[in-house]
Amino acid sequence: MERYEQQFKKGVLELMILKLISVEKTYGYDLITKLKRNSNGLFCLKEGTLYPLLYRLEGDGLICSTEEVLAGSNKRKKKYYEITELGRETLDGLIDYWDSFSGHVNKILQLGD
Amino acid sequence: MKTEYYVGKVMKKIRLLPKRIRNRIKRDMENSITDRLENGETLQNIETEMGIPSQTALDILDGFRPEFKWRVSLLRYAYIFCALVPLLYILSVLVYVFTTPNPGGFISYTKFFAELFRELSAVAMRPTIIRLMVNFVLYLFICAFGYILYSQQLLLKRNYILAMFCLSLVIGITLHPSVYGVDTSHILYNTVGISIFGNSPVLWGLLQPQFFLAIYTAIACLLFYIRKSSQLTTFQNEFPE
């Protein structure tokens, strides 16, 4: 059962991360907490899973990163991610696809009820 | 657990990823831990939330797998097939040599080993059996290279692949009958009673399974090396520091 759940989660991770980044400029840890909070703990993403995913989205040109020096914290640099124009278009396309996808899946699941 | 300790442990496990990526992961991870600490989490809690270092490293490697995963399934099966042929061949020749009266002057392998350990000069006098044993050991090395190559391609450093290429090539040359490989022509000729090699034993030697496997492995190593080099270059260009 858990294996199938993991597969579901993996499949929608990019979409959700992209959506969260599209809402506002954000950083790694913030993404993890937002994801956890907004999913009532269903998506407990770990750093080890998040980084490769972020790098891949960046590599595909869907998001871009900027480093900002934080005031009052030993000049610590923090990496912020924001969505690109291409990312926004891709996100819209993915959301449309998700609507259609989930609709069809639900339709099949209701067969015989 | 200290931040440096955790990050250091993870970095050690992912040391075979490109340096630029590792540096970036290191910075991101340090930032994340600092964020968590600033958010009131304790170090112990952080390890629970982030996972133990080895698991984090595995997750990272798993996440990068699509970039490095090559379509090797078919090649892998082809390799297993090519590796089994010389095994059957070498084993059958070993059985033949050990059971056929007098192929190298011995009646049985029991006597062979008895004489081998009693008198060192027996080694020089019985080249076929010694050759077979050396061939078998070299064959095992080649199989080990093949296994490492096809199962650990993500973790392998390019230099290791290059070293395996060189060793496979050397072993391949050694396994040719003109050098130190089993002389198939004589054994088969004695067994079957016909010559299928014509007048070109050198060419026939190229088709011998254990030699073929070694050369196959060498070529595969070279292709993996070239591919990994180009892939890393592309990957690093995509993710500049």
pLDDT of residue B167: 93
Mean pLDDT of chain A: 88
Whether A78 and chain B come into contact, CB under 8 Å, resolves to yes
pLDDT of residue B116: 57
Gap between the Cα atoms of B231 and B116, Å rounded: 51
Gap between the Cα atoms of B235 and B24, Å rounded: 13
* Nearest residue to B54 via CA among B13, B17, B4, B2: B13
Question: What are the two backbone dihedrals, phi and then psi, of residue B105, each rounded to the nearest 5 degrees?
Answer: 95, 5
Is B239's pLDDT higher than 90? Answer: no
Gap between the Cα atoms of A17 and A60, Å rounded: 14
Q: Give the residue from chain A lying closest to B10, CA to CA.
A: A48
Sign of the torsion angle spanned by Cα atoms A96, A101, A104, A110: negative
The residue that leads in pLDDT, B118 or B175, is B175
Long-range pairs of B215-220 with CB within 8 A, sequence gap ≥ 24: B215/B168, B215/B169, B215/B172, B216/B79, B216/B82, B217/B79, B217/B142, B217/B145, B217/B146, B217/B149, B217/B164, B217/B168, B217/B172, B218/B165, B218/B168, B218/B169, B218/B172, B220/B75, B220/B79, B220/B146, B220/B149, B220/B150
**Are B31 and A51 a contacting pair at CB < 8 A?**
no
For residue B209 the two structure tokens come to: 């399974």
Q: Give the residue from chain B lying closest to A66, CA to CA.
A: B241
Gap between the Cα atoms of A68 and A74, Å rounded: 13
| pLDDT tens, residue by residue, A33-80 | 999 999 888 888 888 889 989 988 998 899 999 888 877 656 778 889
Chain A residues lying within 8 Å of B27, measured CB to CB: 77, 79
* Nearest residue to B67 via CA among B237, B196, B241: B237
For residue B94 the two structure tokens come to: 């070993």
Whether B26 and chain A come into contact, CB under 8 Å, resolves to no
Write the DSSP assignment of B168-179 as a string of letters: HHHHHHHHSTTT
Chain B residues lying within 8 Å of A66, measured CB to CB: none
Mean pLDDT of chain B: 72
Question: Mean pLDDT lowest for which of B126-135, B182-191, B205-214?
Answer: B182-191
Chain B residues lying within 8 Å of A59, measured CB to CB: 235, 238-239
Sign of the torsion angle spanned by Cα atoms B42, B44, B47, B49: negative
Chain A residues lying within 8 Å of B3, measured CB to CB: none
**Are A51 and B29 a contacting pair at CB < 8 A?**
yes
Is B83's pLDDT higher than 70? Answer: yes
| Chain A nearest CA to B50, separation (Å) | 5
Task: Supply the angle between the helices B53-68 and A47-59 in degrees, to the nearest 10.
Answer: 20
Gap between the Cα atoms of B104 and B186, Å rounded: 12
Mean pLDDT of B27-42: 86
Question: H-type helices in chain B, by residue range?
Answer: 3-13, 19-38, 43-50, 53-68, 73-99, 109-118, 121-125, 127-151, 158-175, 184-192, 201-206, 209-238
- Tell me the pTM: 0.55
Any idea which residue has 């931040």 for tokens? B3
| pLDDT tens, residue by residue, B87-127 | 777 677 667 666 665 555 445 555 656 655 555 444 554 66
Highest mean pLDDT among A18-22, B67-71, B186-190, B226-230: A18-22
| Chain A nearest CA to B5, separation (Å) | 16
Three-class SS string for chain A?
Answer: CHHHHHHHHHHHHHHHHHHHHHHCCECHHHHHHHHHHHCCCCCCCCHHHHHHHHHHHHHCCCEEEEEEECCCCCCCEEEEEEECHHHHHHHHHHHHHHHHHHHHHHHHHCCCC
What is the 8-class DSSP label of residue B198?
T
Chain Cα centroid distance, residue B132: 21
Count how many pairs of residues, chain A against chain B, have C-beta atoms within 8 Å.
70
pLDDT of residue B23: 87
Mean pLDDT of B20-38: 86
Gap between the Cα atoms of B139 and B234, Å rounded: 35
* Nearest residue to A13 via CA among A5, A25, A1, A23: A5
pLDDT of residue A4: 81
**Are A78 and B25 a contacting pair at CB < 8 A?**
no
Candidates B41, B60, B154, partner chain A, best to mutate (most A CBs within 10 A): B60
ipTM over 0.90: no
Chain B residues lying within 8 Å of A33, measured CB to CB: 39
The CA–CA distances, whole Å, from A11 to A14, A53, A62, A94, B69 equal: 7, 12, 17, 12, 18
